[in-house]
Amino acid sequence: MIYGIPSYDLPLMAGVGFLSYLIGSIPFGLVLTALSGEGDIRQIGSGNIGATNVLRTGNRKLAAGTLVLDATKGAFAVFCAFVLCPFHTGAAEALAAACAVAGHCFPVWLKFKGGKGVATGLGSMIALSPAIGLCCCAVWLIFAKVTKISSAGALVAFAALPLLMIWPGHIPFSSPTYLSGVLIALLILARHHANITRIFTGTEPRIGQGGNQGGK
């Protein structure tokens, strides 16, 4: 047994992971910009499919819609895992959260070239642990507002996520939720490697400003 999951349920777990990946792969930023007549978001600003780059179209409602839908798909994947799995160890939900973020970052529909996972990661964590997810979201919003750099807020928020899960979350190191949170944080930080370089060189675009990379 793994995390209390009997071996005969492992195929179901694999199916949950795959379904969550597909849900996470839905490129809402690309779909919304195309439907609104704004063009192909991959040809605008940084070329990223996330909300920060969608904001560079000048359409705030479109960016907000992308943010909400990207977060919702992360939460929805966790909800589907809860419904589909007959066991309640939290392992299925934790797997779904990580796979949804991976799907956003590496969507099969876009030749595995996706976003940076911030909104989907926040949505997934809110579904896994509402208090911790909301704390992470608050950290992101505060630092993004102070610095005017979305990626800076995201980096601080997800770097802090493993600590937030310990306190005030009191989530055990050995729990699937903690493992999922750490994997999500590491993936999002890795996806921001170029942003980190630009932040230190002072060339990272601010919110609403054009740029070559950046955003979610």
pTM: 0.93
| pLDDT higher than 80, residue 87 | no
CA end-to-end distance (rounded Å), the chain:
37
pLDDT tens by residue, 143-180: 999 999 999 999 999 999 999 999 887 899 999 999 99
CA 198 from chain center: how many Å? 21
pLDDT at 2: 65
pLDDT at 213 over 70: no
Q: What is the pLDDT of residue 77?
A: 98
Q: What is the pLDDT of residue 215?
A: 43
38: pLDDT strictly greater than 80: yes
Percent of the chain scored above 90 by pLDDT?
Answer: 83
Percent of the chain at pLDDT > 70 equals: 94
Mean pLDDT score of the chain, rounded to an integer?
Answer: 93
Residue 3 has pLDDT above 60, yes or no: yes
**Is the per-residue pLDDT at 56 higher than 70?**
yes
Could you count the other beta carbons within 10 Å of the beta carbon of residue 90? 21
> 137: phi > 0 → left, psi -120 to 50 → alpha, else beta; which?
alpha
Is-contact 97 184, C-beta < 8 A?
yes
Q: Does position 48 have pLDDT exceeding 70, yes or no?
A: yes
Rounded Cα gap, residues 117 and 101, in angstroms: 5
**Residue 1: per-residue pLDDT:** 58
Mean pLDDT of 70-81: 98
Q: For position 212, what pLDDT does the model report?
A: 46
pLDDT band (50, 70, 90) for residue 122: very high
